[in-house]
Amino acid sequence: MALSGGVDSSVAAAELLAEGHEVVGITMRLWGGESDTGCCSVADVDDARRVAQQLGIDHLVFNFTDDFHEHVVEPYVQAHRDGITPNPCIECNRHLKFHRLSERADLLGFDAVATGHHARIVERDGVRYVARGHDPAKDQSYVVHMLPQRELARTLFPIGHLTKADVRERATALGLRTASKPDSQDVCFISSTGGRTQFLGTRIPFRTARVVDAVDGALLGEAEALEMVTLGQRRGIGLPGGGPKRYVVDIDHEAAVVRVGDESMLSVSTMTVGQTAWAHQPVTGEVLVQCSAHGDAQAAVIELVGDSVEVRWSAPQRRVAPGQSVVFYDPTDSYVLGGGIAR
């Protein structure tokens, strides 16, 4: 059982025990630097250890800091250098919290791996899929969309059938120290004091960029850090206040030019998705597509074009920043077919 030190994984462990499983708590030490947010602080490891003590289960700590740096931190920095907006938490799930942990589970002879994600696993015609969690407000199927059949076959989501209120109620009833602990919301290696600017500023050189009108090319201002600008951004791009609302509608990274315009200029009818991962096999046709962890899935038709997926929206949608995860759900919006990265 992956114990993060939060209330969800604490209750998930208790649920497994109640079902009669032999449970060992595992905490992954991922980030070795400064951390005061997310799920990687020293306090979180202590909370996980103490919950394990309360539940009467063994607790182990696996040091995956090198893997985390290789698969999450370095790509995060490189993405900003290249003008891409990454999703590090999904890459952490992909490479560490499932793949790497599954490898360690194999090595030690465990039968299954469990996490505290608000998601479920369903079976359709002998094929397993990640399904939405019971609590729509906390559903995390989007962030675990990449699981293949091998991992779906031995992954457990013990709280997927519970609402967040149910989870906290059960934690309180069990007297778990994490019962009232707030949810982690931020990237674990980005401190709340310095933020992305400080983290990236010590690792890559920031370049200034001209901010111009997307229609007539008129110079409007100057962005201090091109590497911090993302598609759809409105604030913090060096524009004077008091004028009309302008959004970043295009970034020419090579020329160091940011083009801004009316919000309507972000509306598109198609998009391209690469680096796809499918639950079973590639899918074409009518699906629902979700482009952010808490966004609403929208109707679209997808088509395979080479190694990419072309998405044709049923109604125009706001353009998705390159680097963000795009997840395909079945037309009933209940389970994940696959997903990839916006180009």
List active site positions. Answer: 92, 188
User: How many CB atoms are located within 10 Å of the residue 126 CB?
Assistant: 6
Distance CA 164, CA 168 (A): 6
Q: What are phi and psi of 310, to 5 degrees?
A: -95, 125
What DSSP assignment string belongs to 110-162?
Answer: -S-EE---SEEEEEETTEEEEEE-S-TTT--GGGGTT--HHHHTTEE-TTTTS
Distance CA 2, CA 16 (A): 12
Distance CA 27, CA 51 (A): 11
Runs of H (alpha helix) within the chain: 7-18, 42-55, 65-68, 74-81, 88-92, 101-108, 149-152, 164-174, 195-201
* DSSP E strand stretches across 174-278: 209-213, 219-223, 247-252, 257-261, 267-278
Distance CA 230, CA 341 (A): 15
